A and B are shown apart, each in its own frame.
Chain A
């Protein structure tokens, strides 16, 4: 069965510093991986995804994520944090090894990112 883990409930980073939000996954085959963000009092928004190709994926708002197959990780990163990046971040995975192409995506429990001014 596929699963995704976000080991940190909360991450605090000073404005201007680099940030990392961690995500690890478990699938039987190759994964499709996603990051979503939920700003306060707003809906969930798609940030970026990894399907195949380059391990470093660039997304919205200056975010990027690195797919590491050996470590089964897909950490979200940004070189210089902004206060406006403060939000709830969700990692998600789908296992493309399943023959059922109707398989659903599994979400992590979320990591709350606080950027301190």
Chain B
């Protein structure tokens, strides 16, 4: 079946512009995660959705970052007034149920802020 998909695969934007990154999780997966990975580095947790529960936003680095998950499926990560330090690969993952099952990762969106 289809895996986790993300769009766009690459995004170049000017400093100060807003960007939206999209994630389509695997059908039936109730948990959805966003991470950020700087070049070849570790994973930085951003936000996590589980079913209809309030999302865990504890990893969002500033109030310029927000995310939504509509209908328990597709998620959008929005970065307002982008800064150069926002440049990274943004990864989305989904799993059947948070914590119990392995996460399936999308290919990521490479964001470059010029």
A and B bound?
yes
Closest-by-CB residue of A relative to B6 is: A43
Evaluate contact between B50 and A49: CB separation under 8 angstroms: no
> At the interface, is chain B mostly helix, strand, loop or mixed?
loop
Contacts of A110 in B (CB 8 A): 41-43
Chain B residues with Cβ under 8 A from A103's Cβ?
Answer: 98-99
Q: Say which size band chain B's interface belongs to.
A: 20 to 34
Q: How many A-B contacts are there with CB distance less than 8 Å?
A: 59
A43/B99 contact (C-beta < 8 A), A102-B50, A104-B45, A109-B42 known: no
Is B107 touching A43 in the complex (CB atoms < 8 A)? Answer: yes
Min Cβ gap A39→B in Å is: 12
- Whether the pair B107, A107 counts as a contact (CB closer than 8 A) is no
How far apart are A42's CB and chain B's nearest CB, in angstroms?
8
Count chain A CB atoms within 10 A of each CB in B43, B93, B104, B108 and give the residue with the most.
Answer: B43
In whole angstroms, how far apart are the Cα atoms of A45 and B104 in the complex?
A: 7
B43 touches A107 (CB 8 A): yes
Contact in complex: B105, A104 (CB < 8 Å): no
Chain A residues within an 8 Å CB radius of B97:
101
The answer to whether A102 touches B53, judged by C-beta atoms less than 8 angstroms apart, is: yes
- Which of A94, A96, A105, A112 has the most C-beta atoms of chain B within 10 angstroms of its own C-beta? A105
Within 8 A of B (CB), among A67-112: 88, 90, 94, 96, 101-110, 112
| A8-36 vs B, Cβ < 8 Å mask (1 yes, 0 no) | 00000000000000000000000010101
- Leading 5 A-B pairs by shortest Cβ distance: A109-B42, A46-B102, A44-B105, A94-B99, A102-B50
